[in-house]
Structure 1
Amino acid sequence: MRELLILVKRHMYVYFADKGNIVFTCLSSIIVVMLYAFFIFDTQVDSLVAAMAGTDRTEAVTFVCTWFLAGQITLIIFGATFNAMAIFIDDMKYNGSDVQIFPLSKVKIIVSYCIQAVLIALLFGIGSLIIGTLLIWWQQGYLIPASSLFAAVGVIILGTIFSAILAMFIVTFMKTAKAFSSVQIVLNTLMGFLIGMYIPIGTLPDFMQKIIFWNPYMSMSVWLRELLAGEQFQQLFDKAPSAQQDQLAVFYGLRAESFDALWSTSDLALFIASITVIIFAFLLVSFAKKRYTR
């Protein structure tokens, strides 16, 4: 265990030694927020106010802010875990001997990189949750309930574990950091749409919605939206019939639906956990067939 912790500490040191990488990681998140605020935010609020007669604009703004925050946290978790895993490629190509000096099995070496990615993603994910919550409180005077925030931290922990294992699985097929970076850019561009972050998922064609709801990152985003934006959603649509509320919840990505059935929180947790276990099993098989150095 001591060797494992030392190896994790070593990975963390290597990651944070690259200050430029950290700056650009934070900057990319800020740019996404600014682009959304300048080009999409007002349009979405206006359409929400127009669709629901008598809707208070302040409540609509607060809902959209909390709704967007959930998607932003999901995207940050994805980006942070994949970005952190680039260390593995450099180690296997250039610094394999640094890792091999530790008397650890292949499984523990995998776990060390995954733990490093989880810790980094937790730092960015929980940090974004805190900053976003405080900004919404400052701008809108609305404070997300403490119970929802604590539950959101639990979702972030589960989501980072899944994302780290997925990133580790994908990185085993990459031979260079440049190739992995290209894959990450493509996935990061698509992910904003695959989790319904920029526009409500209900605006997409029906067949795309059915596919996207099986994306574990979408499940994570749905869960976070239900926690962070659920209270504002109820205030906005409290006068709507129950059946219509369910439809609107699916439309805005606060509930997941498949085969005409709504997913519960337990369903979301079980789905993410199951996919995590399956990918980890494939990861062990894939890593067992590879050498430490390439």
Structure 2
Amino acid sequence: MLALILRDLLLYFRNYSGVIFSLMGAMISFVLYLVFLKNSIQANWKAVPGSGILLDQWLIGGTLAITGITTTLAGLTQIVADRESQVRQDLLQTDIGNTKLTVSYLAGASLIGLLMQAIMFVIMFGYFHVEDGLNVTGEQVGLLTAIMLLNAALSTAINAIVINFVKHMSSLSSLSAVVGTGAGFLVGGLIPIGTLPDFAQKLIKMTPGSYIASLNRQVLMNDKLADTFDGHLSMQHHFEKLLGVRIDWDGLLTRQETLNIVVVALVVATVLAIVPQLISGRQRRKLMA
């Protein structure tokens, strides 16, 4: 199975154009923020000291969530490619089995998502460190790494559910374009959630990636928020609600509550991604018996 995971990694990273396109959604979010959004959003928070750093941290949290979604989808394209070229059938003729083959696809895509999030974090942190003096602590890096791993696994599982219904690479290309374009809005990574219409806010709250973005932002922003608002909790909570630092469900969710939602979503998505493959493998064994 390790050989299959390594195969998926090599096929992904050897396709340089595919790697770049899988990061397109995250890069668009990053560039749009720098060119258009930062000044307009910051204009609404001129009275808040250090708002520039807070918004940089906000952007990093959302962009990491986007990166996990788009790169894991790109990593899972090998499932469709193998299915379309009949390579999957050849692999199933070996002693690997349907379950191990499926797990290898998911593990490979998760590793891709983790690595690409780390790369995007280094790019964004490097820029904001030079431009705005942004710094992060070792504890923040450790917590962000854990969230990156959660994001990679969750995004892989959700994308795998969708890919089960995709039969051809041409269809997958269209899907990737839609996901890459829409991911920034669905996780609240481009526009502060509090400025959107009620329907759009509810749609974002139904997207698991928005909770990943919230966790990232809480890790990055909590200390800065406490210093900035200096005990003015009502103002701080308004800021957190408006920018999606914490998701509002009849009250702002705590970090633990947000993490619980992510873990439940991960378990459900993983079951939905793997169980159909287990059933398919069992049916195939019965036919061959």
Query: TM-score normalized by structure 2?
Result: 0.89
Q: Which runs of 5+ in 2 are unaligned?
A: 285-289
Letter in 1 for 2:34: A
Label 1:168 to 1:26 Cα distance change in 2 as closer, same or farther (>3 A). Answer: closer
Q: Please tell me whether the aligned partners of residues 23 and 71 of structure 2 are also in contact (alpha carbons under 8 angstroms).
A: no
Residue 40 of structure 2 aligns with which residue? 43
Aligned residues: 281
Q: Which runs of 5+ in 1 are unaligned?
A: none
State the shift of 1:193 in Å: 1.3
What SS class does the counterpart of residue 45 from structure 2 fall into? helix
State the shift of 1:10 in Å: 1.5
The yes-or-no answer on 1:66 pairing with 2:83 is no
State the shift of 1:192 in Å: 1.0
Match of 1:130 among 115, 122, 125: 122
Q: Please tell me whether the aligned partners of residues 25 and 70 of structure 2 are also in contact (alpha carbons under 8 angstroms).
A: no
- Residues 30-79 of structure 1 deviation map (CA, whole Å, 9 limit, x = unaligned): 34422321121211112221xx3xx34xx221111111011111111111
How big is the alpha-carbon RMSD for the aligned residues of Structure 1 and Structure 2? 2.0
Whole-angstrom distance in 2 between the partners of 1:103 and 1:121 = 28
Instruction: Out of 133-142 and 173-182, give the one that drifted further.
Output: 133-142
The yes-or-no answer on 1:23 pairing with 2:20 is yes
Whole-angstrom distance in 2 between the partners of 1:282 and 1:140 = 43
Match of 2:183 among 182, 191, 200: 191
Label 1:25 to 1:281 Cα distance change in 2 as closer, same or farther (>3 A). Answer: closer
What SS class does the counterpart of residue 197 from structure 1 fall into? coil
Q: Please tell me whether the aligned partners of residues 25 and 183 of structure 2 are also in contact (alpha carbons under 8 angstroms).
A: no
Whole-angstrom distance in 2 between the partners of 1:214 and 1:192 = 14
What SS class does the counterpart of residue 135 from structure 2 fall into? coil
Q: Please tell me whether the aligned partners of residues 82 and 164 of structure 1 are also in contact (alpha carbons under 8 angstroms).
A: yes
Match of 1:274 among 254, 261, 264: 264
Whole-angstrom distance in 2 between the partners of 1:124 and 1:276 = 20
- Residues 132-187 of structure 1 deviation map (CA, whole Å, 9 limit, x = unaligned): 22222222223122211210110110111011111111101001112122122222
- Residues 100-158 of structure 1 deviation map (CA, whole Å, 9 limit, x = unaligned): 24412322211100110011111110121222222222222231222112101101101
Residue 287 of structure 2 aligns with which residue? none
Whole-angstrom distance in 2 between the partners of 1:170 and 1:142 = 37
Match of 1:112 among 83, 104, 108: 104
Whole-angstrom distance in 1 between the partners of 2:24 and 2:164 = 28
The yes-or-no answer on 1:215 pairing with 2:207 is yes
The yes-or-no answer on 1:141 pairing with 2:133 is yes
Label 1:27 to 1:79 Cα distance change in 2 as closer, same or farther (>3 A). Answer: closer
- Which 4+ residue blocks in structure 1 deviate beyond 3 angstroms? 23-32, 288-292
Whole-angstrom distance in 2 between the partners of 1:103 and 1:287 = 16
Query: TM-score normalized by structure 1?
Result: 0.88
Whole-angstrom distance in 2 between the partners of 1:134 and 1:39 = 20
Label 1:212 to 1:245 Cα distance change in 2 as closer, same or farther (>3 A). Answer: same
- Residues 11-46 of structure 1 deviation map (CA, whole Å, 9 limit, x = unaligned): 112222222212333455434422321121211112
The yes-or-no answer on 1:81 pairing with 2:72 is yes
Q: Please tell me whether the aligned partners of residues 8 and 113 of structure 1 are also in contact (alpha carbons under 8 angstroms).
A: yes
State the shift of 1:207 in Å: 4.1
Q: Please tell me whether the aligned partners of residues 225 and 236 of structure 2 are also in contact (alpha carbons under 8 angstroms).
A: no
Whole-angstrom distance in 2 between the partners of 1:48 and 1:121 = 33
Label 1:200 to 1:28 Cα distance change in 2 as closer, same or farther (>3 A). Answer: closer
Identity rate, percent: 22
